[in-house]
Structure 1
Amino acid sequence: MNLGFKNIACLALLLCNFFIVKSYAQTFIITSPDGKLELSVSLNNSLNYSLNVSGQAVLVDSKAELTIEGVDSSKKIISVKRNSVHRILNPHVQQKSKDVVEHYNEISLQFDNKQSVTFRIFDQGMAYRFSTQKIGTLVVNSELALFNFDNDHQVLFPEEKSFISHNERLYLPKLLSEISSKQFASLPLLIDVMHSNKTNTKVVITETGLRDYPGMWLKGSDKTALSALFPKQVLKSELKEKSDRNENIIKRASYLAKVEITANQAERNFPWRVIAIGKTDAELLTNELSYLLADELKIANPSWIKPGKVAWDWWNANNIYGVDFTSGINTQTYKYYIDFAAQYGLEYIVMDEGWYHLGNVLDVVPDINVKEIIDYGKSKNVDVILWVIWETLDQQLERALDTYEKWGAAGIKVDFMQRDDQAMVNYYWKVAEQAAKRHLLVDFHGSYKPAGLRRAYPNVITREGLRGLEHNKWADYITAEHNLTLPFIRMLAGPMDYTPGAMINAHSKNFNIVFDRPMSKTTRAHQVAMYVVFESPLQMLADSPSNYLKEYQSTQFISVIPTVWDETRILSAKISDHIITARRSGDEWFVGIMGNSKAHDFTVDLSFLSSGDYQMESFADGINSEKYASDYQINKQSVTRLNKVKVRLAPSGGWVARLIKVKVKVK
């Protein structure tokens, strides 16, 4: 009996020592559901974490800290909660698929200063966010988010010059050590982590759940780390002389954000810091962390929200021809857009800049009758979206939206915000909420990246925040390589209004910058393939309706491509090189291939199809498309899931296929 007592006493002492050590070290391990990602979180003098992927280090001794005025920064853990979730979500506006798997493990650390931090780890990456239970007016003075990598890796760095930005950048390849502490970038950005065993892990850093708080940007450190910086609260700004959109920031606060926490709030959550992981390039294209971590649906019944395609006026400068009226910002021109949209089953047109006198979003120009245009559209099942400048709209917000609703408009395209400080982030949420009350869609241009708003308010159906086709009007840097970088980085954050569909196509040697008659620096098939590869539930047709009517075969092919999807499969992908995407809508499959400025040969394995026969119609680079980028060919053939289809892409080329299942006739 004495021997047993000693054993029990020794065991008790060992357990006591174990918990003392654990309490002192404050280290916690959490793994992804598939076991391939391992996160280590520790609290000594600071909150640190490290991340391994398949046993290889990615992040080491990274740091996270939130400093709130009047709250002691030194803290102790008073409770630890672990949780696991596995469920299927069904977004109302489907981007990649109708079923989104939410599967993660989670640890929450509660501190004695009424703050807590939660880490979630998925198979596709990890994220963390701070929360506070402190009531009253809180001033957030600073936030430390240090992403410290295991070694010196290449970054695709969307470098910025100012916090006043449309976030429309090129992705510049740089080593971490080459990025100084004075250089900074908007999000998302990508780090290509090369491991000692010669394998790679792709890391994309972004954020979601962004509300009542400034957006996060990243700067260099002259070493192997990136650290967050944030635009401080704007206290005073004014429009520049003779401008309705460009601001001078006159004064900023010394703090990042000021927030109100009421007694009936259980806690106040801050944004998620997202580290998306792709063990292959292709995995980045199906990553859903930005959506999964966002605030849940705020609209009671979103059934009125209708995705679709849009005939857009601004890119083509209303350059229509073969008509018996003078084209321009006038009622006849927009009726022509509506006629075109109706002919090809497009759901919307946009009335962009020029329909109102700048400075007053209710002062319609004499040549436009908005109500007549909207009523004409409704007679042909085509709805109208109205472009507005954000600041002018803000001055008249409820009155303007009430008027647009009365007119019968379907939505608004809000432009030139160019900021993501706390006040501007709150503006996005205000517009989303007020528009939803009136059943209006919202497309944000001149905007920051998607950061979770679309899950709470799916009427925010798409947004810009990328360097898209519009830049072809004044520059030559929208290359096929750029087009093949965007989906791996910017599209991971959410839908992107790139505005594809150029019908005038050229290669580098014969590309010209023509503002009023712009062209693409890719083949025609590359442009058509974007409608499958690029995600936007509201997808623009950027070129002139007259060009589309002339190029009716291309237009017909574009018109049948959905803008939302039941299922997405990435058959092959390599950043800046190529993407082969297969997407399903109902019983139909679409395959889109985009290539870079080199010619490519691919074999497309159709084994993703279900059993049975399919009729495949393909839109491919023409035999002369290497010389004449607008050349294309359309082919039809019968296929099954056993077929492997050979595809030849011209430089900056593309290929698209529509596969319709052949119904078996019942005798």
Structure 2
Amino acid sequence: MKHLIFTSLIWLALFSGAHAQQLKSPNQAFIMDFSLQSDGTPTYALKYKNKEVIKTSKLGLELKNDEKSLLNDFTVVDTKTATFDENWKPVWGEVAEIRNHYNELAVTLNQKGTDRQIVIRFRLFDEGLGFRYEFPSQKNLTYFIIKEERTQFAMAADHTAFWIPGDYDTQEYDFTTSKLSEIRGLSEKAKTANVSQTSFSTTGVQTSLMMKSADGLYINLHEAALINYSCMHLNLDDKNMIFESWLTPDAIGDKGYMQAPNTSPWRTVMVSDDARDILASKMTLNLNDPCKIEDTSWIKPVKYVGVWWEMITGKSSWSYTNEYPAVQLGITDFSKAKPNGTHGATTTNVKKYIDFAAANGFGGVLVEGWNEGWEDWFGHSKDYVFDFVTPYPDFDVKGIQAYAKSKGVKMIMHHETSGSVRNYERHLDKAYQFMNDNGYDAVKSGYVGNILPQGENHYNQWVVNHYQYALEKAAEYKIMVNAHEAVRPTGISRTYPNLIGNESARGTEYQSFGGSKPNHVTLLPFTRLIGGPMDYTPGIFEMDLSKLNPDNHSHVNSTIANQLALYVTMYSPLQMAADLPENYNRFLDAFQFIKDVAIDWTESKYLEAEPGQYITVARKAKGTNNWFVGNVNGETPRTSNIKFDFLEKGKKYTATIYADAKDAHYKTNPQAYVIRKVVVTSKSKLSQLSAPGGGYAVSITEIK
């Protein structure tokens, strides 16, 4: 169903001046006020249930090499309003159908003295506000350079925020919880080392930014549809509690090269007095264009295993030999090199993972370190570091593919660019064709290290355009993409559903680099996952990593029950069972949940939620009547209480509950769990202990 009405009166009210408009959400809970200040500066304000969320905030853009920026001296020359209502079906997702319902106000502004026009388009949903700048085709505004976008988000109070430092190159930080006024004093402590990072301000933070007000409002600031534009951060004026947009610059400091007609991404403000509404919102997806891929039959969710965890922990290596201090592709002869004996991507080792995948119903096997060049791939500003098609002597591409095919398993390709995006684009067609020729239909791409050419950043316009180019090119070859170290997703998976995963946050690998806070996974769904699914790589059962590598003294800050729950709470159509097969064989009864859990859903119900503390989610597997429940808990133990009223009335189900034991603790007793089976109906309730860093998972099947 699609319904669109344009009008000059509906949801449009004049107030306090000739150039003031008011827009209400379909459910009337939100009111957005637009007005021009006396100097012609555009502003907006937002209320939710009569509570002030965004105080009067300025809009506009500062231009480079221009006598006059797009900041003030505007007059309103036209306003249009509309209401839109449709239901659409995602290729994969948390639900089978999504409603896209909003009221819209488009304000056309003309700037005195330049005769330039911009449109500010507002869309007000029942979950919150989206707005963007539009630059129509016109003779007085054709090519222009953005020095800075000056969008403001004026907070109504000194809220509690769950934040990570503003950074042009990485989101791989643990979250800090503090008042807004405390960000400056905590900014240095909040930073942790990363192979590529560029922070810009002691009050800079990244989106998606989650906040909670003293009177119980949950507020989220983010962006949607990041296309041909720089990624937006937020910089806080902590005297006035005003966030202002801060775009990622290029190597010479410019923040955007624009040609009209064009648009900015959407700036989003989600608000509710119930945290579950933030998690359930599909507003970010709805602000993106519909799917542009005609035939999507080749895009399929997948559970996979791979050699990655043994490499991350140091049990094995990406490189083939230790003989060469430096290698050059096409010159270095690896056939004459002595193998180092630790290489993970060998034909023999990979076949073990293929056997494990086939025996346990996993659809894919990811292999990293299969291709020449890993000996000196990082830290040398090396442009031609990989060619993405030449395997090491101990990796038989054709033989592996034939073996996997005989077992009913797909191989997943790995492309590490080492930040050399220009080199990747040079090889992209050849690399994707190589995948087609050898039966690979999914790729994990990586952008570790500083971007080349030097001075560029992971999140500026030029590199954002590269990620989009690689994604669209992949669609031409019917290849699904899981991009690591790329810019955070902003709902683009609606338009290009072959983007089945991203990293773009602190993932499980950091448990091998010293650990993450136990409440980390209670915040990612409120922040990073607002824009799209994350390849978090859960399923770790051996928490003492010295047992994999005596030199690695890290500890995974999670219980086994928590790891199981992540397959439900951390939504993704791409889910890895990341641990080694031998560790799963030690805990086969717990491993059963990973084997059973679905990765594509018809319904999702958020049962409990409090950012930084706990999340409980129930999801119905697509094409079945089976449900799965996941609960993840932070530092403080608690008892979770849920109802099974999402089940079909009049039917009985078997619920298999995988829970923390009474003495479980992420640090001291992480492998203590209990499993029990009970019969449940829609009238049943569950009261279940969640340990520190723990949780529980439930598999629910109908009794026929």
Query: Is the pair's TM-score, using the shorter chain for normalization, greater than 0.5?
Result: yes
Q: Is the 8 A contact 1:139 1:258 kept in 2?
A: yes
Please tell me whether residue 389 in structure 1 is matched to residue 430 in structure 2: no
d(CA) in 2 for partners of 1:514 and 1:490? 33
Please tell me whether residue 99 in structure 1 is matched to residue 97 in structure 2: yes
d(CA) in 1 for partners of 2:696 and 2:504? 26
Shift of 1:506: 6.5
Task: Report Cα offsets for 1:493-547 as digits up to 9, x if no partner.
Answer: 211111111111379xx99996768652121111101111111110111111221
Q: Residues 222 and 457 (structure 1 numbering): CA distance in 2 closer, same or farther, change over 3 Å?
A: same
Q: How does 1:116-195 map to 2 (within 5 A)?
A: 116-134=119-137, 136-160=142-166, 162-163=167-168, 165-180=169-184, 182-194=202-214
Shift of 1:67: 4.2
Residue number among 521, 533, 537 corresponding to 1:495 in the alignment: 533
Q: Structure 1: give runs of 5+ residues left out of the alignment.
A: 1-18, 235-251, 262-266
Q: Residues 439 and 574 (structure 1 numbering): CA distance in 2 closer, same or farther, change over 3 Å?
A: same
Residue number among 605, 620, 644 corresponding to 2:685 in the alignment: 644
Q: How does 1:15-30 map to 2 (within 5 A)?
A: 24-30=17-23
Q: Secondary structure at the match of 1:159?
A: coil
Q: Which amino acid letter does the alignment assign opposite residue 444 of structure 2? A: K
Please tell me whether residue 109 in structure 1 is matched to residue 94 in structure 2: no
Task: Report Cα offsets for 1:88-136 as digits up to 9, x if no partner.
Answer: 1211121x21111111111001123231010011111101001111254
d(CA) in 2 for partners of 1:159 and 1:468? 16
Q: Secondary structure at the match of 1:302?
A: coil
Q: Residues 24 and 579 (structure 1 numbering): CA distance in 2 closer, same or farther, change over 3 Å?
A: closer
1:259 corresponding residue in structure 2: 258
TM-score if structure 1 supplies the norm length? 0.86
Residue number among 362, 371, 379 corresponding to 2:398 in the alignment: 371
Q: Secondary structure at the match of 2:213?
A: strand
d(CA) in 1 for partners of 2:14 and 2:573? 53
Q: Secondary structure at the match of 1:76?
A: strand
d(CA) in 2 for partners of 1:178 and 1:159? 13
Please tell me whether residue 596 in structure 1 is matched to residue 590 in structure 2: no
d(CA) in 1 for partners of 2:517 and 2:508? 10
Shift of 1:567: 0.6
Q: Is the 8 A contact 1:512 1:519 kept in 2?
A: no
Shift of 1:416: 1.7
Q: Residues 598 and 139 (structure 1 numbering): CA distance in 2 closer, same or farther, change over 3 Å?
A: closer
Please tell me whether residue 443 in structure 1 is matched to residue 482 in structure 2: yes
d(CA) in 1 for partners of 2:436 and 2:548? 41
Shift of 1:355: 3.4
Please tell me whether residue 301 in structure 1 is matched to residue 295 in structure 2: yes
d(CA) in 1 for partners of 2:87 and 2:23? 22
d(CA) in 1 for partners of 2:347 and 2:547? 33
Q: Secondary structure at the match of 1:458?
A: coil
d(CA) in 2 for partners of 1:214 and 1:32? 29
Shift of 1:305: 0.4
d(CA) in 2 for partners of 1:419 and 1:20? 43
d(CA) in 2 for partners of 1:633 and 1:377? 35
Q: Secondary structure at the match of 1:200?
A: coil
d(CA) in 2 for partners of 1:289 and 1:336? 43
Task: Report Cα offsets for 1:545-572 as digits up to 9, x if no partner.
Answer: 2212332222221111111211111111
Task: Report Cα offsets for 1:159-185 as digits up to 9, x if no partner.
Answer: 13x42x221112222332334564312
Q: Is the 8 A contact 1:106 1:118 kept in 2?
A: yes
How many aligned positions are there?
608
Q: Secondary structure at the match of 2:530?
A: helix
Instruction: Name whichever of 331-340 and 383-392 sits farther off.
Output: 383-392
Please tell me whether residue 283 in structure 1 is matched to residue 277 in structure 2: yes
d(CA) in 1 for partners of 2:654 and 2:271? 37
Q: Which amino acid letter does the alignment assign opposite residue 45 of structure 2? A: S
Shift of 1:482: 1.6
Shift of 1:603: 2.8
d(CA) in 1 for partners of 2:553 and 2:202? 39
Shift of 1:142: 2.7
Shift of 1:376: 1.6
d(CA) in 1 for partners of 2:502 and 2:95? 19
Task: Report Cα offsets for 1:270-296 as digits up to 9, x if no partner.
Answer: 100011113212211112121110122
2:612 corresponding residue in structure 1: 576
Q: Is the 8 A contact 1:109 1:118 kept in 2?
A: yes
Q: Secondary structure at the match of 2:237?
A: coil
Q: Is the 8 A contact 1:357 1:363 kept in 2?
A: no
Q: How does 1:465-614 map to 2 (within 5 A)?
A: 465-476=504-515, 478-505=516-543, 519-585=555-621, 586-611=624-649, 612-614=651-653
Q: Is the 8 A contact 2:14 2:21 kept in 1?
A: no
Shift of 1:337: 0.9
d(CA) in 2 for partners of 1:607 and 1:529? 20
Q: Is the 8 A contact 1:167 1:447 kept in 2?
A: no
Q: Is the 8 A contact 1:179 1:221 kept in 2?
A: no
Shift of 1:395: 3.0
Task: Report Cα offsets for 1:137-157 as digits up to 9, x if no partner.
Answer: 343333111111122222222
Task: Report Cα offsets for 1:378-405 as digits up to 9, x if no partner.
Answer: 2222111122123242231111111121
Q: Residues 81 and 68 (structure 1 numbering): CA distance in 2 closer, same or farther, change over 3 Å?
A: farther
Q: Which amino acid letter does the alignment assign opposite residue 158 of structure 2? A: D
Q: CA RMSD in A?
A: 2.5
